[in-house]
Amino acid sequence: MTITDTIKRRAIKEVLHFTTNKGLTGILTKKAVLPRKRLPKENYLEHILFYNCASRIRDTEWLDYINLSITSINLHLFGISSSKWHPDIDGWWCILSFSPEILTHQGVYFCTTNNAYTCVVRGTGVKGLENLFADRVEREPGWVAIRREDTPINQPTCNQAEVLYPSRLSINYLKHIYVQDKEHAWAAESICGMFNEIPVMDIDVKPEMFA
């Protein structure tokens, strides 16, 4: 069995990354999502740099990887980022949806829960991906996620499960941009219109993905 087989069997349709309108502008400028370690090295990005996560002190050795989610974003982290760390941002949030093909790329790691948690299990290949759908996933000692009968087959057991993508994720795999309302959709369309030679992508209003 291959990762592609698992993607098909589990009906995984998208891999997600949440960011802000500033993040979207930077991503389209560089035609790629860049990991935290590489952002300060990009001269243009210094002027629009905006970290979703206030601190990465607990997983410093993984700063050259991009944090992604399968099927739904990490709502726990998004809630902290949008309400606690950045409650008054001058802008808006969006979710970028990438083809699940990226899960087959070399160097990708799969994390059963938040990569910074004590009990995270990291892995590669089919086994690494399948670990995300285990019946029981431990986050921290005494804090466990249990897979329920009604959990969708394409949803990892722990909502904080992560995909770590190395170095640079091309926007050639970007298929959708999700936003919370029509005004943000119009703004996203305007941002995309500023750039030539970017792939055609859909912009959809889906507030339920942010809550």
Q: List, in sequence order, every beta strand (DSSP E) within the chain.
A: 15-20, 32-33, 65-70, 93-98, 109-111, 122-123, 136-140, 143-146, 162-166, 169-170, 174-179, 202-205
CB distance 31 to 96 below 8 Å: no
174-179/202-205 β-pairing: parallel
Q: Decide if 31 is inside a domain.
A: yes
Q: Which domain holds residue 73?
A: 3-53+63-210
- The predicted model scores a pTM of 0.90
Q: Is residue 78 part of a domain?
A: yes
Residue 11 has a pLDDT of 98
Total domain count for the chain?
1
Residue 124 belongs to some domain of the structure: yes
The tens digit of pLDDT for each residue in 76-118 reads 989 887 765 455 677 899 999 999 999 999 999 999 999 999 9
Averaged pLDDT for residues 157-170: 97
- pLDDT tens per residue, range 19-73: 999 899 989 999 999 987 766 555 544 444 444 554 455 567 888 999 999 999 9
Report d(CA 59, CA 160) in Å as an integer.
15
Which DSSP category does 183 fall into?
Answer: H
Q: Is residue 58 part of a domain?
A: no
Closest CA to 116 of 51, 167, 55: 55
CB atoms under 10 Å from CB of 139, counted, come to 19
Is the residue at 192 inside a domain? yes
User: Is residue 190 domain-resident?
Assistant: yes
Does 17 reside within a domain? yes
Question: Is 93 among the domain residues?
Answer: yes
186-195 pLDDT, tens digit per residue, is 999 999 999 9
Which pLDDT value is given to residue 53? 54
pLDDT tens digits, residue range 123-163? 999 999 999 999 999 999 999 999 999 999 999 999 999 99
Q: What is the pLDDT of residue 90?
A: 77
Kindly report, residue by residue over 60-87, the tens digit of the pLDDT: 788 899 999 999 999 998 988 776 545 5
- pLDDT value of residue 44: 47
